[in-house]
Structure 1
Amino acid sequence: MKEIDKTIAAYGDDGYNATETWHLQKVAILEKRNDKAGLIEEYRRLFRQHLVDKRTYFKKLKELVAKEEWDEFVVKLFGDIPHITDDDCILVCDMIVEEKKYSCLMKILMDNVMSFSRGQLFKKYAPYMSEEDQATYTNHVIEELRMHLSYAKSKSYGYIVDDIKGMYTCCEVSKKLILDFVEEIEYNYGNRPALMRLLRS
């Protein structure tokens, strides 16, 4: 076990799946020892890794963690995923909805910083979020778009406007905030005809 731990430690960032096989070796040893606490810790570390079979590890954890401890455990579990992409985001958000831990949704969506479909993802999960969380997430996206607009070239306008239009349709909260943002854009960038044309199309 010590040698396995040394190998895992040598990788540095344990949030990627490069160490998955080593953790599974530990799982095999811990199962023989009937070490429940050790198994929970290994499956927790496996679940948080990038692009692994999270559903399987989640199921194992639900079997192992005591029912009276599960609610607190699962909230911490959802809050400790260091590397999120669209595929993992959908999988984890679906689990959050299944567990009815809706307050965990916003962090996962915000941590998915390289998303190619954040508008679609937000639209899917916004109905489960509080209005406060909807507003926080929308303002987070608006702030990013505001920053991009400050230095964007005309060839980038299409991507920015697509994001704006996508966010507009997600929920009533985002609709209002996006309308306010569009007014701000028209005031600050009304002298950019290419941007205005896309925004009004």
Structure 2
Amino acid sequence: MKYGTTSHFKITDNAIGENYSLELTTQGYLYTFGSRDSYQLGRRILGRNKSNCLMLIPKKVVIRIKKIFAGGYHSFAVSDGEITYIWGQNAESQCELHHTLVLLENGDVYSFGCTRYKQLGIGASEGNQNSPVQINLDKCKYIATGDYYSIAVNNENKVYTWGFGGTYALGNRSENNELLPFELKCKEFGEISAIGGSSQYSVILSNFHN
């Protein structure tokens, strides 16, 4: 990344939200740019820039960071000191689009935020979940979210989805919602190395089994 005319940075990670971007340098500095309409950039906007909802030039957030994550309109960062920071939209108590999954180092998975489409994986619940609650899953290695659904892969390479089933994004061969984690059965899954969710579809990257 080039910033100005004198400074050069090497990017080690990036995270993309609905209409903004987080960039992490090899030195542990966090830069943000894009829309700030939900305060998802994590920095003060001063002077004549206050009325502008688009920040097109990357600016540094003054925290030393080692991991970054982005939902639709809110952001996460983990500092060198293992402190978790969160900022941005909090309309559904998620501070992906309206809910959050957290994967701990020991493999436990927690969720919080909107429960409208059962995307938290905790069964029937009314109202928003404003504090993390553990999901009944074996130890996991990967998690991902779509707008209104969630995905997890446990250490035994089993894939689970739950939440909003529209457009068949859950892989459950129907458009039914899943209140609790639903295991996907697929003979062709090899060792899974990555998963991802979007508005209307999911992606699983694995070594193909013949």
* Larger strand percent: 2
Higher relative CO (Cα under 8 Å, sequence separation at least 6) belongs to: 1
State TM-score, norm by structure 2: 0.30
Report the TM-score when normalising by structure 1: 0.31
Between structures 1 and 2, the one with greater helix share: 1
